[in-house]
Structure 1
Amino acid sequence: MRPKKTILCVDDNEQVLSVRTFLLETRGYRVIPALSSQQALEVVEQSLPGSLDLLLCDLIMPQMDGNELVRRAKQLHPGLPAMIVSGTVNAFDRASCADVFLPKGASSPAEMIERIRVLVARKRGPKKAHYAQPVNHMMTAVAS
């Protein structure tokens, strides 16, 4: 069985965090919930590079908003994909640091799960480098 992908899920609203955590866990993800950006940043600081598969956070939070959290997390782990979700904002420019932004009204649970699936798959990249080999070999045969 494949190891579970680990998602650091951040929201200052405990109810939203609980629902999102449940949604992700029932789809087979391992979730580390955090109720503040500061708490989430501590998790990132203490984790090994590559051990987190996604940072999923709310945009508007007290002390440190989602943009700042993503910016700081990417300084610590440049390869960490990040998704910002907002229940109040529908303009992308408010979430410029994230790889994906789901604005107000556009983040149905199904859409969010699909975006997450694509982001965590992209992080891993191709399984083995030799998959590219037959393509190159065919190109050489065609060119000859």
Structure 2
Amino acid sequence: MRPRKSILCVEDNEQILSVRKFLLETRGYRVIPMTTAAEAIEFLKDAPQGSIDLLLSDLILPQMDGNELIRRAKQMHPALPALLVSGTISNFERATAADAFLPKGACNPAELLDRIRILVARKRGPKKQPMPVREIETAMPLLAQAS
């Protein structure tokens, strides 16, 4: 069984957070729910590098907006993919730190899940290609000389 991917989900509306958490957990993700950006920053300070697979945040949050949260999170975890969602479509120009932006009302759950799947896969990076046999044969005499 593959390990579950962890998503840090930040949303100040507890109803939306609950629905999003349920949606993601039923698809096999481990969800760490937070209601403020400050909570998320504190969590990320102690989180080991690579332990979080995606930061999913609302744009409009109290005290610190989602864009600032993502900027700070990427300072601590540079490889962390981030998806920003907002209730208004016109806010996408404010989503400068995120890897992707989705308007809440204009996207359905399938689109959200698809975007999450893509961002989590991107974090893993490209698969390493095996060394071609010809290169292995060329390297063998060099390795023998070195020893």
By the TM > 0.5 criterion, same fold? yes
Mapped contact 1:90–1:104 kept (Cα < 8 A): no
Counterpart CA distance in 2 for 1:24 and 1:124 is 19
The corresponding residue for 2:97 is 97
Counterpart CA distance in 2 for 1:107 and 1:90 is 14
The corresponding residue for 1:45 is 45
The corresponding residue for 1:58 is 58
- Amino acid of the residue matched to residue 96 of structure 2? S
- SS in structure 1 at match of 2:31: strand
Structure 1 position 127, deviation (Å): 3.9
Q: What do you get for the CA RMSD once the two structures are aligned?
A: 1.6
Structure 1 position 103, deviation (Å): 1.9
Structure 1 position 89, deviation (Å): 3.8
Consecutive unaligned residues in structure 2, runs of 5 or more: 136-147
- Amino acid of the residue matched to residue 63 of structure 2? Q
Counterpart CA distance in 2 for 1:93 and 1:10 is 20
- Amino acid of the residue matched to residue 17 of structure 2? L
Structure 1 position 94, deviation (Å): 1.4
**Identity across the alignment (%):** 66
1:98-124 CA distance string (max 9 Å, x none): 000002433211000000000000100
Q: TM-score, normalised by structure 1?
A: 0.87
Q: TM-score, normalised by structure 2?
A: 0.85
Mapped contact 1:85–1:107 kept (Cα < 8 A): no
Structure 1 position 125, deviation (Å): 1.5
1:34-89 CA distance string (max 9 Å, x none): 01000011111110010000000000011000000000000000000000011134
Change (3 A) 1:42 1:129: farther
The corresponding residue for 1:141 is none
